[in-house]
Amino acid sequence: MTLYQPFLDYAIATLRDRLDLQPYPIPEGFERKSAIVGKGKNQEEVVTTSYAFSATKLRQIRAAHVQGGKSLQVLNFVIFPHLNYDLPFFGADLVTLPGGHLIALDMQPLFRDDRTYQAKYTEPIFPIFHHYQQHLPWGGDFPEEARPFFSPVFLWTRPQATSVVETHVFEAFKDYLNAYLNFVAQAKPIDEIQGLTEIKQAQLRYLRYRSQKDPARGMFQRFYGSDWTEEYIHGFLFDLERKLSDNAFTSV
């Protein structure tokens, strides 16, 4: 059992339990990808598996799980709501590299500086955030340009010990996911044009940032080549623009 498998199993079981989960298409050739990397006795098989679902209020729920031995494990898990809900994105980036663990967990806001939005989607999370922050201290510098996309309850930490990932990080992941699903349960569709336009712009802003700056791009290029990587990023991981142009005359 690899480090993030229990996170993925928990997430899928919880989503099945709490939502009307439907399959979401994964482009052919992207469900599973493998490559042999390294030389001699350092050779490792690196396998990337993808998972995707949708639900009534959620356009795409997707996970990418990279397994390449003890010092290369990644679970990137994001929930993209439908464009007629003001819900934040659920974003988890759980990364283990030879240098250590890097954990990002957040309810990423559509409108970071809007006080009403914060009261609705950030303040309820403060108790959970403060509870875990004592065990998961701030991870230090991260790209300034990423700031607009993070909430004040962004858990960002670089634990030394794997046991911290297995315990505190796993518990935080569960609590954030369940709190997110509480928001989903309460969310009401937006139907006025102004609100819908703002949501679409905010979703596209987030999506363009994440796809342009994907910190995994270099890693995927090394393992699987640059054509596969670009298609994986734009055709699966961050696919909203493609879906909008595929469905120019229908709703997404």
Confirm or reject binding of residue 216 to ligand DBV (CB under 6 A). yes
Would you count residue 69 as binding ligand DBV (CB under 6 A)? no
How many residues form the binding site for ligand DBV (CB under 6 A)? 18
Residue nearer to ligand DBV on the CB measure, 84 or 157? 157
Is residue 198 close enough to count as binding ligand DBV by CB under 6 A?
no
Nearer to ligand DBV, 84 or 207 (CB): 207
Stretch that binds ligand DBV, among 37-45, 141-149, 186-194, 242-250 (CB under 6 A): 141-149
What is the chain's alpha carbon radius of gyration, rounded to the nearest angstrom?
18
Q: Which stretch binds ligand DBV (CB under 6 A): 5-13, 33-41, 166-174, 209-217?
A: 209-217
Sign of the CA dihedral with 93 first, then 111, 11, and 233 last: negative
Q: Select from 3, 15, 19, 64 the one that contacts ligand DBV (CB under 6 A).
A: 64
Assess 136 for contact with ligand DBV (CB under 6 A).
no
Helix (H, G, I), strand (E, B) or coil at 110: coil
Distance of closest approach, residue 217 Cβ to ligand DBV, in angstroms:
9
Residues 6+ apart with CB under 8 A from 5: 65
Decide: is 15 part of the binding site for ligand DBV (CB under 6 A).
no
**Distances in Å between the alpha carbon of 108 and those of 117, 210, 245, 251?**
11, 12, 24, 23
In the complex with ligand DBV, the residue whose CB is nearer, 84 or 109, is 109
Task: Give me the half-sphere count of Cα atoms (radius 13 Å) on the Cβ side of residue 15.
Answer: 26
Q: Does residue 234 contact residue 211 with C-beta atoms inside 8 Å?
A: yes
Report the site for ligand DBV in 220-249 (rule: CB under 6 A): 237
Q: Does 209 bind ligand DBV (CB under 6 A)?
A: no
Q: What distance, in Å, lies between the first and last C-alpha atoms of the chain? A: 37
Looking only at the bridges linking them, the beta strands covering 44-55 and 155-157 are unpaired
CA angle, 174 as apex, 172 and 180 as ends, to 5°? Answer: 100
Interface with ligand DBV (CB under 6 A), residue from 81, 91, 109, 159 = 91
- 105 three-class SS: strand
Q: Does 109 bind ligand DBV (CB under 6 A)?
A: no
Q: Does 142 bind ligand DBV (CB under 6 A)?
A: yes
DSSP 36-76: EESSGGG-EEEEEEEEEEEETTEEEEEEEEEE-STT-EEEE
> According to CB under 6 A, which one of 59, 87, 214, 224 is a site residue for ligand DBV?
214
Contacts with ligand DBV, residue ranges (CB under 6 A) = 64, 74, 76, 91, 93, 95, 102, 104, 106, 142-143, 146, 210, 214-216, 219, 237
